[in-house]
Structure 1
């Protein structure tokens, strides 16, 4: 299942293939290895050189004094296959291939070249990083196989980063280092013909020095194996912080041409993050702040955040941003308020967020923070402050450091804007044990990430049960009974063969009724005008059947009409519920504002299956349409409990029949008044054979 990148990170002998004074990348890597204390041996290989960098240069692997553990292959794409073949004959264990044009995009020659390299490495048992990458770094081992000196800082730490974009990796790591983050590993994974994200995650889970995993994702090669690796990381409480490209179609196309990665459906990826506890970041800056927030190594037990600031303007901004980001700022308890009053200027009101004025020194600020920390509703303490951009006074920060020592809750500093943090600032941050975040929106999203992960850390995820449903379950009355048994009740309805029979059925059901044409060629009836509402007499039903038949004939003269469905008129809130098998991430379920406006409004939430009632209630809470369910503008509240049961039940039905169904959708699902249940007005099962 997993392939180990250990030979990439722990090699004791390295061969740089393509070494030359005129080639910048191999020369920079040579200098990085030599200047930063790599303890192993490094051999340059170039068949056209006898000496390079002032040392002997070897013509091939066979001429080396000893076998190479790792080859850093920095040659044109057309020459890579021959280099790896030569290495395989001489005991090569691992290779990092830097060249592109090896598997990415759709060009047959490039794709074929990548496939041949993959087959060769698999047959020879060579761990392959890349191609189309910029290499990687093992900071503890001082193995700096990256063609940039700026990120080669030998001080190791606990953050491991894997980026499918090598150029982005170096700039992000440099920025993160300038903020005080330290790394165990940094890897540019490229096209991932060999080692992929899942392999690296699995390796980091087992690495005792790595506590935080950061990913830049363009696409996921082996989704099921990726999920297995994320399952291990979650169980080990090692947070995965990720940014993924592909929100738009053009971004997905760019990823395919860049690394050959298939981006997949964005909403399904977000559902994957929710299930596996992946903290999804909207920007690289957010990823820096979030990683810093996690670097303290503490997780909250709940979602309440207590804010202590020194500015009314900051308080105002926090109110705006907190609502937008869904951050909870609970009121301080009366006891907390009473303890704060003597510590504040008379004109200041103790509340959360707290404007403390300008406290007379860090002792008073720390005392106020201690009171806020003691409040039972405070799960995270966030303190406004900016580290000096000059020489930071570590001694002055001692009271805040003592505050951190007296609690197990996360204590996070934050500033309103971005600023440069020098080496003294990093030393101050390290000494007092408080990470200082920058920018209010980024800070709030980072704190929300702590809350999100804290609620999931240590969770185990069971594998999906095998589908056990039979084809007979999906036929006629058996299907209706199955849906009803799972909370998806159908309205009173009759399938009639013609207009006269439809009129008779309508009279039996009771007017007014809905009339729908049944034509297998048109699964979305509204797109061809195949639904008539509010028919109030037998004559209207009979005439309506003729009208619908004419519309189908106009749309497709050869389309077959198998009958007319007569249904009772149902009133309530229109929702959509649908389950399908996502090509990358597996079975998912969606709930959203339904009816004919569903695609226009785009108001939907998605989760991986299975889901329980808590999952569904969280999905509903994400919808703008949740206000309709609560009773908008005097309307009666809808039966949300029945909606929740129907979503859970539809997911259960789909999971049990996913080998037979590609898609199972109810639109609209009418949610009646509280206590009256739901009505699945239009159920659309799509068989895999369809």
Structure 2
């Protein structure tokens, strides 16, 4: 089984597909009602910032923590907002975000406090966390009506059995939540939905271009060997037809030709036995790294041929030995394709290398994707921080990586029904401006 097949869990795949098509997934019935109410009764927030105001430091801090866990931003208040709120509080509470305004949440001054927070240009959503009665509810409703370009949500902190104010908020269609975590996921869903709508409303859904004759011929030739995990050389040949850069390499049949190829490519080089039906070559001793001279090439050639025979690859099972450049610098990532019987072609991106299944740090999308999808996939992966430059290493070529993801997604969409799996692991992402190179790959066509 390929790394991609092992990492593409069914639930994770459906999560990715729903998000890609703007569908919000909720965890229970209460969340369904609360999030639906927020979406139905809120404008698109004009900014990503969230402002939280409450009568309680504890509940405002807990709400801020829950918001942080889902990636919501609570920016620092502007000087104008701080000055205005502190002028109202006069030392009883503090102007911050989240803001604990103590008893002023149930005073005639509360509308002024809400307005200062809502007027802050960094804030697109105002959250009031309280359990005030009808008087406070009237103030909150009036604030929503005054500034209907921004989202306002209410976190009810009191008992539902004492609904003074609560029924008034509901009747006025103020979105009400009852726990900080549900409020946080609700606002996260609102922002994500409008971000999705803004992109898809303008760009529409991506479509793969028509397959070119050369691509179709290469696919037809390899599809004749359906059910077989193709050798690396064959798999990279397929990638090349779709414009995916591969390492400089040459397939040879004897040690002398291996030496010639190594000198043409330039040391250090890598030698690999090129065999089918053996996707994990490292464990079988079929990969020799960092070879520095002619004598070492001859020894490595004999060793990988011997190891291939010991692993059961004999005669026609060994296509030869691939002499490849050794990519010394770069970030290792994995790019892969798999197919679901209901959802179709799926592209995977994640942290690469031999430990890829241990880390399980991946992002999934349905094929095809566009550049924005590709960049979102990259940002979804924790290990992608290495692409930004780490401990003195230069930033990697994220644009070339995104372009490669789009190309592979086209391959996946165009060969749906023919291709079964594809792994590129590792794909080496070089320094900015230097592109990417597929250092290893394996493809399997449908039997």
For this structure pair, what is the TM-score category when the shorter chain's length is used for normalisation? 0.7 to 0.9
- Write the distance in 2 (CA, Å) between the matches of 1:634 and 1:415: 48
Cα pair distance change 1:538/1:330, threshold 3 Å: same
Deviation at 1:429, TM superposition (A): 2.5
Deviation at 1:668, TM superposition (A): 0.4
1:572 aligned partner: 330
Cα pair distance change 1:478/1:684, threshold 3 Å: closer
2:400 aligned partner: 642
1:585 aligned partner: 343
| Matching of residue 268 in structure 1 with residue 13 in structure 2 | yes
2:97 aligned partner: 352
Secondary structure of the residue aligned to 2:24 is strand
Query: What does 1:607-626 correspond to in 2, within 5 Å?
Result: 607-626=365-384
The answer to whether the 8 Å contact 2:273/2:286 transfers is yes
- Write the distance in 1 (CA, Å) between the matches of 2:105 and 2:407: 60
Structure whose alpha-carbon radius of gyration is higher? 1
Cα pair distance change 1:422/1:545, threshold 3 Å: farther
| Matching of residue 317 in structure 1 with residue 74 in structure 2 | no
Deviation at 1:274, TM superposition (A): 1.5
1:498 aligned partner: 254
Query: What does 1:236-315 correspond to in 2, within 5 Å?
Result: 265-315=10-60
Q: 1:514 aligns with which of 263, 270, 278?
A: 270
- Write the distance in 1 (CA, Å) between the matches of 2:86 and 2:426: 55
- Write the distance in 2 (CA, Å) between the matches of 1:395 and 1:365: 11
Cα pair distance change 1:579/1:532, threshold 3 Å: same
The answer to whether the 8 Å contact 2:367/2:412 transfers is no
Per the normalisation by structure 1, the TM-score is 0.56
RMSD: 3.1
Q: 1:543 aligns with which of 284, 299, 304?
A: 299
The answer to whether the 8 Å contact 2:137/2:165 transfers is no
Cα pair distance change 1:557/1:496, threshold 3 Å: closer
Secondary structure of the residue aligned to 1:371 is helix
2:428 aligned partner: 670
Deviation at 1:407, TM superposition (A): 2.2
Range that drifts further, 516-525 or 544-553: 544-553
- Write the distance in 2 (CA, Å) between the matches of 1:526 and 1:478: 18
Q: 2:144 aligns with which of 377, 380, 404?
A: 404
- Write the distance in 2 (CA, Å) between the matches of 1:618 and 1:428: 41
Range that drifts further, 448-457 or 479-488: 479-488
Secondary structure of the residue aligned to 1:291 is helix
- Write the distance in 1 (CA, Å) between the matches of 2:347 and 2:406: 9
Deviation at 1:377, TM superposition (A): 2.1
Deviation at 1:283, TM superposition (A): 4.6
- Write the distance in 2 (CA, Å) between the matches of 1:495 and 1:550: 17
Query: What does 1:343-422 correspond to in 2, within 5 Å?
Result: 343-346=88-91, 348-359=93-104, 361-386=106-131, 393-408=133-148, 409-415=150-156, 419-421=159-161
Cα pair distance change 1:296/1:541, threshold 3 Å: same
The answer to whether the 8 Å contact 1:514/1:534 transfers is yes
Query: What does 1:201-216 correspond to in 2, within 5 Å?
Result: none
- Write the distance in 1 (CA, Å) between the matches of 2:282 and 2:247: 18
The answer to whether the 8 Å contact 1:467/1:655 transfers is no
Structure 1 unaligned regions, length at least 5:
1-248, 250-263, 388-392
| Matching of residue 598 in structure 1 with residue 338 in structure 2 | no
- Write the distance in 2 (CA, Å) between the matches of 1:303 and 1:568: 46
2:195 aligned partner: 455
Range that drifts further, 460-469 or 550-559: 460-469
Secondary structure of the residue aligned to 2:91 is coil
- Write the distance in 2 (CA, Å) between the matches of 1:596 and 1:322: 35
Deviation at 1:613, TM superposition (A): 1.8
- Write the distance in 2 (CA, Å) between the matches of 1:348 and 1:280: 38
The answer to whether the 8 Å contact 1:398/1:432 transfers is no
Greater RCO, 1 or 2 (C-alpha within 8 Å, sep 6+):
2
- Write the distance in 2 (CA, Å) between the matches of 1:345 and 1:314: 22
Cα pair distance change 1:265/1:505, threshold 3 Å: same
2:310 aligned partner: 554
Secondary structure of the residue aligned to 1:581 is strand
2:438 aligned partner: 680
2:87 aligned partner: 342
The answer to whether the 8 Å contact 1:664/1:685 transfers is yes
- Write the distance in 2 (CA, Å) between the matches of 1:530 and 1:481: 20
Per the normalisation by structure 2, the TM-score is 0.84
Deviation at 1:448, TM superposition (A): 0.2
The answer to whether the 8 Å contact 1:487/1:645 transfers is no
- Write the distance in 2 (CA, Å) between the matches of 1:553 and 1:330: 63
- Write the distance in 2 (CA, Å) between the matches of 1:358 and 1:338: 19
Secondary structure of the residue aligned to 1:637 is coil
Cα pair distance change 1:534/1:609, threshold 3 Å: same
Secondary structure of the residue aligned to 2:318 is coil
Deviation at 1:583, TM superposition (A): 1.9
The answer to whether the 8 Å contact 1:308/1:356 transfers is yes
Deviation at 1:450, TM superposition (A): 1.0
Structure with a larger share of its residues in helix: 2
- Write the distance in 1 (CA, Å) between the matches of 2:245 and 2:255: 26
- Write the distance in 1 (CA, Å) between the matches of 2:105 and 2:365: 50
What are the superposed Cα offsets for residues 66-90 of structure 1, whole Å, 9 maximum, x if unpaired?
Answer: xxxxxxxxxxxxxxxxxxxxxxxxx
- Write the distance in 1 (CA, Å) between the matches of 2:333 and 2:171: 54
Cα pair distance change 1:686/1:467, threshold 3 Å: farther
Cα pair distance change 1:413/1:566, threshold 3 Å: same
Deviation at 1:650, TM superposition (A): 1.7
Deviation at 1:466, TM superposition (A): 7.8
2:226 aligned partner: none
